[in-house]
Amino acid sequence: MLKRSVFLAVTIGLAGMSAAYAETTEDLPEIRQKRFDLKQDFTEKEEQIESMDAAEQKYLLELKALDDEVSEINQDIRDLQSIMVESESTAADLKNEIDKLANTLQHREQLIKERLRTMQAQDGLGLYVDLIFDSKNLSQLFDAATAVSTFIKADKDLLAVHQADLELKKKKESALERKIVLLEKDQLELESLEAELQKKVKEKQRLLDSVQKEKQENESELMDMYEVYVNLASQEIAILKENQRVEFSSAQPEDGFVIPARGELTSGYGPRWGRLHAGIDIADESPDSVVVAAASGTVIRSYYSATYGNCVLVTHKIEGRTFTTLYAHLDKSTVTTGKSIKKGEMLGYMGNTGDSRGKHLHFEIHEGQWNYEKSNSVDPLLYVKK
């Protein structure tokens, strides 16, 4: 955990930002009071935090390291699957080209065979010689000789084209064989990555289970304290920025929320395991499951949390009201703190980071500002449009 000096640094930085954004808003006093109360609480418990610091940091570092490894494996899987899709498309194109060439060659071979049969029946070159010697005068002789040479040249050209197409078909078949070998190799690599991913997921599960058994309630509260404080401070800044963004924006007014990810609703809003589940869970096993902003707004914070994993908090101003959305357990985030975002803009990939037992998105909507007690949280299904 971080010491009092860190809280002081955050407070000074916040004061500077607040001065820069002189706009006042009714949403801020409650946040500021909670932040100041939390700072005082932190000061009183500083000795406890010092004694717990090493163990907590070890847990957080181990958890984040595992989540980072899983995130890298997932990115490798996405990259490899993209390569495989392109390779499969190329292989399909090659097969179509080979099939067309095979049909052309088969048709041309029939023509060549028919021509050879005709030549054999009519004594082959004897036919050409008869044409020349049957000529009545020099002019006919010249015409016959020209015709014979044209026939012979046509036969040679036909055979040359046929031979060239045979060679081309052979090259394309070799290219297809190489592509199939690469695809089989990529498939084996994909299976290896997926096995490694499952291994890391089980390793993380063991870590979470061991911590769950050993961790006491007051330790959990202290671990969350710095995170909550910074979230509240960042929220003040983001609300000020969002108010300015809306005030000076020429865009059409926001028309509500959209569902932030595709997938199956696996857990709803309400009591769960003896506490409030302050959002909904959406699960999708696809490696490229994208998470998007449910509405336009300003990113309060994009960060890693021991509880939420890779997490994004966003503040929104809709029809004069302030809302906050939270997107947790992301495989990776693609936005930064303070960024203005549009509805439907990508925030990251669905994941299994932090205190999570399976790949899913935990999504919250708060009517007003976010707070640790989740007292402003509501059922997101009251707002989202699928």
Sketch the domain layout of the chain as residue ranges.
4-44+216-385, 80-206
At 131 the pLDDT is: 53
Query: What is the C-alpha separation between 346 and 292, in angstroms, rounded?
Result: 4
Query: What is the C-alpha separation between 363 and 380, in angstroms, rounded?
Result: 8
- Contacts of 181 by beta carbon, 8 Å cutoff, 6+ apart: none
Query: What is the C-alpha separation between 49 and 223, in angstroms, rounded?
Result: 9
Taking alpha carbons only, the member of 205, 219, 385, 220 closest to residue 292 is 385
Q: What is the DSSP string of 31-91?
A: HHHHHHHHHHHHHHTHHHHHHHHHHHHHHHHHHHHHHHHHHHHHHHHHHHHHHHHHHHHHH
* Contact indicator for 67, 310 with CB cutoff of 8 Å: yes
Find the distance separating the first CA and the last CA of the chain, reported in whole Å: 40
Pairing of strands 384-385, 321-333: unpaired
| Strand ranges, E, within the chain | 257-258, 264-267, 270-272, 275-277, 280-283, 290-292, 297-305, 309-318, 321-333, 340-341, 346-350, 361-367, 377-378, 384-385
Which amino acid does the sequence have at 69? E
Q: What is the DSSP string of 81-96?
A: HHHHHHHHHHHHHHHH
Pairing of strands 264-267, 280-283: antiparallel
Helix (H, G, I), strand (E, B) or coil at 258: strand
Q: Is the pTM of this model over 0.75?
A: no
Query: What is the C-alpha separation between 186 and 87, in angstroms, rounded?
Result: 10
Question: Can you give the pLDDT of all 386 residues of the chain as single tens digits?
Answer: 444 444 544 554 555 544 444 444 566 777 777 766 666 665 655 555 555 556 666 777 778 888 888 888 888 888 888 888 888 888 899 899 889 888 888 887 777 667 656 655 555 555 555 555 555 555 554 554 555 556 666 667 777 777 888 888 888 888 888 888 888 888 888 888 888 888 887 887 777 776 555 544 444 455 467 778 788 888 888 888 888 877 777 656 677 899 999 999 999 999 987 888 999 999 998 878 999 999 999 999 999 988 899 999 999 999 889 999 999 999 989 999 999 999 999 999 999 998 888 899 999 999 998 988 899 999 999 999 66
Query: What is the C-alpha separation between 219 and 58, in angstroms, rounded?
Result: 14
- Contacts of 342 by beta carbon, 8 Å cutoff, 6+ apart: 293, 296
CA 94 remoteness from chain centre? 29
Q: Which residue has the tokens 């081309």?
A: 168
Query: What is the C-alpha separation between 343 and 108, in angstroms, rounded?
Result: 59
Taking alpha carbons only, the member of 349, 292, 291 closest to residue 73 is 349
| CATH, domain range 4-44+216-385 | 2.70.70.10
